[in-house]
Structure 1
């Protein structure tokens, strides 16, 4: 077997290993998020929407529904639960097309409740990343950004069907 063929096989094994690791990571993060949502008394979808509002908000309900991939009627139930539990507020959208337009805001005083449950993971990540050089961190950040973008495109492709 030539060294070119051996290199090709080694590369395919490495690529397969990375894809397998990403699937394992997705599953582990899903389990972590499920535990966090359970501790907070939320459904998994509620936590997903709350995180979107915390990161990208304030958002209109229709924008949040698009980002979360939810039907607007489903999102209404999610927002009602989050508001009743004090995780979000809704306010009139001053730039909205009419008086009924609203914006969804994350309750700032509740963010620490969420972050506290991720403290163990954040500490573990800080410890893990401390062993990488600045160049390696830049490479990892680029890989993760590109992977996120690829996932977004794949999701949009499935949504378009």
Structure 2
């Protein structure tokens, strides 16, 4: 499944002019809402220099915008502005995935969602531990 998701992301990237890093940032913004560049870098496990390049490209191409913080005018947050462009591309696959569970009971769907959320948490925690170990090994 991981290989197929990666291949799908590469196909979407080729179609949109985005790359894996761009898609990762847009995914975090879509799921978690506006973020500072530092929190985006931490969340996507990118260096700050790489994040700056990604954000310049995404801003230039109209995928995100920078908005000044209301509380700290030295700070800004990044907001996704073109989620609808990606939603149209993902729509056919999303419809097919929805069709896979249409005949399922509500409890079956709830179990699937719970499993996917728990699996995502395990993977996130594993990445956190690996990142922390990498920093302590340096």
TM-score, normalisation: structure 1: 0.79
Deviations 1:33-61 (A, max 9, x none): 11112111111111110121122221110
Gaps of 5+ in 2: 134-138
**Displacement over 2 Å in runs of 4+:** none
Report how many aligned residue pairs link the two structures: 133
Gaps of 5+ in 1: 1-24
Deviations 1:110-132 (A, max 9, x none): 22210111112111111101121
- SS of 2:6's partner is helix
Aligned to 1:27: 3
Aligned to 1:102: 76
- SS of 2:79's partner is strand
What RMSD in Å do the two structures reach over aligned CA positions? 1.1
- Measure, in 1, the Cα distance between the counterparts of 2:48 and 2:15: 26
Equivalent residue in structure 1 for 2:122, among 150, 156, 159: 150
Choose 1 or 2 for highest CA Rg: 1
Equivalent residue in structure 2 for 1:50, among 22, 26, 31: 26
- Measure, in 2, the Cα distance between the counterparts of 1:57 and 1:37: 21
- SS of 2:104's partner is coil
- SS of 1:59's partner is coil
